[in-house]
Structures are given as structure tokens and as C-alpha cells.
Chains A and B, each alone.
Chain A
Amino acid sequence: MATAVQTPEEAKGIRGRGSSALLTTALIFPAGLWYVLLLVAPLIIVTIFSFGNRAKNGGYEAAFTFDNYVRLLTQTQRMEPFFTSLWMAVAGTIGCLLVGLPLAYFIATRTTRHKGLFILLLVIPFWTSFLIRTYAWLIVLGRENVGGFIGSLIGDADFRILGTPAAVLVGLVYGYLPLMVFPLYVTLERMDRTLVEASKDLGAGRWATFRQITLPIALPGLITGSILVFIPMMGEYVIPQILGYGRTFLVGNALVDAFVQTRNWPFGSAMAVLLILVMLITITFYVWFVNRGRHGREVSVL
């Protein structure tokens, strides 16, 4: 495990390879360019836009005003999508965790040959378009299949899953599950199995072993995975549109409305900035929460 403090020898070694600094720069350059052009620059533009006015025919007009933020923060109907998104993303992340952790553990404890097979099975759905897979859920959850089946069980002919938050949740968990499984798998795969045996030898039960051995080891993967699924879920647009029948109104949908239907780019930008802030705060709180009392433990976030 790498320590934060470099030994003098290590530091000297890096300086000694100064001639390769140019090569390092050259190799980092594409990623750096990507980062600046596609992340930093758009963020700056969005932030600038969020202080502007809507042009007469829609779009952006330069200005410096806080109106967009004031409207956003003071009107309940504007804030509602944020709250809906927040609880959907939290529920979706928990869902991914409940499904993903046992799955990752299962795959990580197979023999090498089988591991490859299971990982492949997990990846294969990605060969099909996300949209097509989401459409497929329309059929699976539809009234002729799962939806109708549950309806007949509880004796309600009008029972529906599609068009409810439950359908959106199923879609979210399905769509982002692999992003949760892979980081968990990577951490669990490196786990020393003898630790589990030692725990059992020392008299710990299954739950105690899981809580004191497996979970702490899986924690870095768990944090990474949670963040990887939480962020896109917060901005999700397609799943609520298709499986939620447009009835579950998330921030992503509100953003599309702002940019396409009302063509109010500055207001949409303000929403986007607020969304980023909400995510930052949530994730910071989350990382702090799972790490509290674990000073000194190395945690890789991304």
C-alpha cells in the first residue's frame, strides 16, 4: 500500500528521470486536453450562462443576474425534480448495492476460468444499445408479462408497473448495475481468502465476518461504485421518459424542458450548476459518512 510520504530515495529517483519529463507531458497531453476542452471549458460556459438572460427568441443573452438562481431556489415546483432525483438516485444506488455486492462476491470467489465467463456475461448487454435494452423492459414489465402477472396475483386488473417510480427504479438498477459490480469485483477479487477463514477459526459468525472482514476490504470499491452509479442516476433522462411514461419528473427531464421546450438556456444552466452542487454535497457527505473513524485507511475514490 502506497504511503503519502516519499522516501528521499524515491524522490531522487523521480527527479533522476527528469529527461523523461517531456515524454510524460506528451503522454498526459491528450487526457489533459480532453479534460480541459470537454470538462473544464463546458463547466465554465455553463456557469457563465447561468448568470445570463434568455434571449428574445430563446437561447442565451449576456447579462449578470441572479434571477435564475432566485427563481430556482424559491419556487417549490422548480425544486421538486431535484428532490425526486435525489431520492430516486439514492434508492437506485442502494438497489445496485443490494444486487451488486452479492454478485461481485460470487464472481470474485469463482475459479479464474469461470470469472472470465461471468465478467463476459456482465459485459455482453453493453453490446446492445442502451435505448433498445430500456425498450425491452417495456415488454418485460408490461401488462402482458410481469405487470399483468403481479396484477393477477393481487387481483387488480388495473395494476401497472410501467409509469410508476418502481419501473424507473428497476430501469436505473438494471442500467447501472455493471458500474457497481466492477469496482466491487476488483476489490473483492484481491481479498485474501485466508482472512475469512481466520475470522471463522477465531469464532466469528458469518455476519461478524462479513461486517469486520469483507465489508471493510470491499469499501473502496463500494465507494467508487456508489459514486459511479449515483452521478449518472441523478442526471438520468431516458429511463424516466420511457419506463416512467414521463410521469416521474427528474432533473434530467427538467433540463431537457429548459433547453428544448422553453429554450431558456440560462435557466437550464442554473439548474445544471445546482445539480452539480447537489451531487458534490451529497457525495462529499457520503464519503465522509462511510469513512468516519477510519483515519489512515487508504481509500481510492476513482
Chain B
Amino acid sequence: MADNLDDILRRAADTKVPRRSFLAAAGLLGGSAALAACSTGSTGGATTAPAASGAASAGASAGTDASASPAGDVEKQLFMYNWSDYTSPKNIDAFKAKFGVEKFQYDTYANNEELLAKLQAGASGYDIAAPTAEYVPSMVEGGYIQKLDWSRIPNQKYINAAFKGLAWDPNDEYQLPKDFGTTGILYRSKVVKEPVTTWQEFYDLIVGKYSGKTVFVDSMGDIFVMPLKMLGKSINSVEPADLDAARDILLKLAPHILALDSDTYQDKLASEEAVLCLGWTGPIVELRENPDTADIAYSVPTDGTLFWLDTWVMLNDAPNPNAAYAFLNFIHEPEVQAEETNFNGYGTPNDEAKKFIDPEILNDPVFFPPEDAMANLEGAVDTSSNEQRIDIWQEFKSAIGG
């Protein structure tokens, strides 16, 4: 038992913050050492990255002086606000060396709300940040970010066309795609021998053979993907008839669900309490590292699923705009970008970079969905204001317990 607890704590401390998990992210328990440790990025990378927090405001005032230097001159410093362990320390060092940047500040946030809150509170002192694309429209509306001058980011030509002109930034004015990932099906392949390549197959297994052994992430936007794609509709549909049909599917699923859990679903998969999971790719790498759970497999349903996209944006009051442009262009150098993917384990939208990425990663659906699935990916627009969706979601949640 002690071993067990030790194991859980160790995992809690080592785990990257689940990208959209509220419990870990909000740190609402204040005193939790394990969570505090992971939200400041305890996993290797951050220790080498200059992640000392608190110096940002001091740096910002210094930065104002630097921006007075002639246009085009790269300032001696750059302030980045980013997810933890999301940019390779090697690349940061290379950038500093190449452009003579002396001070590279890498501060981290645990979720988009935290980033937004900081910007809403006024001058953040940061130059660049990496929000999820869904949040870009509100950042534009709030006047927190500036239009990018693409002539200063020539490497954007490497970005796959699939990641341009998206609903979040229809005219490609504000966001430079950074990394992307999918919502899909995680399963223990040593237990689940049946194919799970589509949502319908997944559904049949949940209500059939593996009833009570499926965990869903606690995320409204991701859960609606499954019924809507089974119906052949857009994941963003707000058509009342589509949603009614989706509701029927969800309520049929509800009694067969083991847990709604965004924070510890990897533990439930590891213990085989759950063998199927509608979730994110985050925990897979770690589960694979353990021989007992190495059989974890990931499937991107071929009938279509959601992809998320994190993007680089430049803040309106960026004190070091030249260094920011230098970085945004530098980071999309194919070889630099390949190192990013090798480091953070997320798919890159940069086509040219794929030539330099480990083939094993390239052929792994966890990072890069296969061609047939890729064609059916759909970006999520913010449908969280749709009352019908919210009502169904609440009903679904109550139905799971009852």
C-alpha cells in the first residue's frame, strides 16, 4: 500500500499538467505540494529553462528601454508566457546564442484561463504567449494581442495549409500555429482485442463487452465529438435536431461510464479499472514507459474527431517586439521545429520539419494522425454558449451517477 501511494505521488509529481485539466490547473488546493510542483514545471526541461518567476515585471520596465533601440535591432531580452515544458531548452539556448539575447524569461501558466486572467489584469510585461486557438478570438476582442507582420516571419510558409484560415483567426492575422493534437480513443490493447477505429465501434464496446470499464475526460467540448461524429455531423453543430440525437446517444452511454475524469484517468487505465478511454494523448508517453502499461494504444477515429491547436501570439504591449519576431521565425526553422516536437511530444503543423523528426514519432498516431483520420479532423469553435448543449451536458452528468 505504501508503495502504491508512493507510486501515485511520484506520478503526480512527474506528470505534465494535463493540458485542460481544471483540478490540477487551478491549484485550488493551494497547499498541495505535488500539484504545485508540476504547475511550475518540475520535469527536467524547466530546470534548464530560465523559469524563475516573478522577475517578469522587473524585466518589463527594463524592456521598455530596450524597445527604444532602432527598429530591427533584436533586443537583449525576451519574455515568454507558455505552458510548462512546451519549448525545448536546447532551442532556447540556440536562440539566445544566435541573436545575442541575454535574458530569456520562460514563465508558465497551467491553463488558458490563467493566461487570459493575466492579460485582463493589465500590462503583463510578456512578449509572446501560446494560447489554444479557441481563446484567440477573445484575446483579439479584448485587445490583448497584435496583428503579426508575416514579412518578418518568412518561415510561416512551412505551415501546412490545413492549419491556416481556421475559424479562430479566419484571415490569419494573429496566430502562428505552434502544436496540435487530437481527441481520440485510448485503450489497453492487451485487453481490448476488438478494433476501435471508429466512434461506432467504440460505442458498441462501451455499451457491450466493456460496460463499466470506460472513462471519459470531463470536458463538454470533447464528449460531444463522439455522438455528433457517429451521426455524421460537425463536432460544432448547434442544430437542435442534431443535438437531440446526440443527447439520446449520450444518455444511452451514461450508465456504462466508469468515470468522468480529466485529472487521473491515466491511473484508471494503468490499473485496468478502465480499459477504454475517450481522452487526450498527454498521458500516453508516460504509460508506455512502464512495461506493465506499455500496451496502451491510441486510435484517432477515422469518422472524424476534434483537433486542438496551440498558437504563438504576440502581446499588444510586447516590450521586445524585435526579439519576439526573431523568435517566432526562428522556432519555425525546420530543424528547430523538429527538435520542438521531439522534446514536447506534440504534433507540429510545420511540414518541412517532419523531415527531421524521428520516424517513429512521425508514424505514431499519438503525435501525427494517419492520413485517413487527418482528412476528417475538425477544429472546435467555441460552442460553450449553446444552451441546449449545456442542458444535455448537465443531464448526462447527472445520469452517470444515477
Q: Which residues of A contact B (CB under 8 A)?
A: 54, 56-58, 71, 75, 77-78, 80-81, 84, 129-132, 135-136, 138-140, 142-145, 158, 163, 165, 237-238, 241-242, 244-249, 253-254, 256-257, 260-264
Contact = CB atoms under 8 A, between A and B. Distances in A.
A142 B263 CA distance: 17
A52 to B, nearest CB: 14
Contacts of A163: 258-259
B8 A135 contact: yes
In the complex, which range does the number of interface residues on chain B fall in? 35 or more
Contacts of A257: 220, 393-394, 397
Contact of A249 (B23, B385, B387, B397): B397
Nearest to A164: B401
Interface string B113-137: 1000000000000000000000001
Given A57-B138, A129-B33, A261 B382 contact: no
A71 B387 CA distance: 10
A86 to B, nearest CB: 14
A255 to B, nearest CB: 11
Contacts, number: 121
A131 B219 CA distance: 21
Given A249-B400, A257-B394, A131 B1 contact: no
B290 interface: no
Contacts of A249: 397-398, 400-401
B274 to A, nearest CB: 10
A129 B397 CA distance: 28
The 7 closest A-B pairs by CB, nearest first: A245-B259, A246-B260, A57-B138, A77-B395, A247-B401, A131-B32, A129-B32
Nearest to B262: A246
A245 B394 contact: no
B218 interface: yes
B5 interface: yes
B260 A260 contact: no
B4 A139 contact: yes
26 contacts: A57-B382, A58-B382, A77-B391, A78-B394, A80-B394, A81-B394, A130-B31, A132-B33, A135-B5, A139-B1, A145-B1, A163-B258, A241-B218, A241-B261, A244-B401, A245-B261, A246-B260, A249-B398, A249-B401, A253-B397, A257-B393, A260-B22, A261-B220, A261-B393, A263-B384, A264-B385
Interface of B: 1, 4-5, 8-9, 12, 22-23, 26, 28-29, 31-35, 113, 137-138, 141, 212, 215, 218-221, 257-261, 263-264, 267, 271, 273, 382, 384-385, 387, 390-391, 393-395, 397-398, 400-401
A85 B267 CA distance: 27
Contacts of A260: 22, 26, 113
A246 B390 contact: no
Contacts of B141: 56-57
Nearest to B9: A132
Contacts of B259: 163, 245-247
A253 to B, nearest CB: 8
B398 A77 contact: yes
Contact of B384 (A129, A165, A248, A262): A262
B391 A246 contact: no
B401 A248 contact: yes
Contacts of B263: 241-242
B385 A84 contact: no
B25 to A, nearest CB: 9
Contacts of B9: 132, 135
A253 B385 CA distance: 18
B391 A75 contact: yes
Contacts of B258: 163, 245
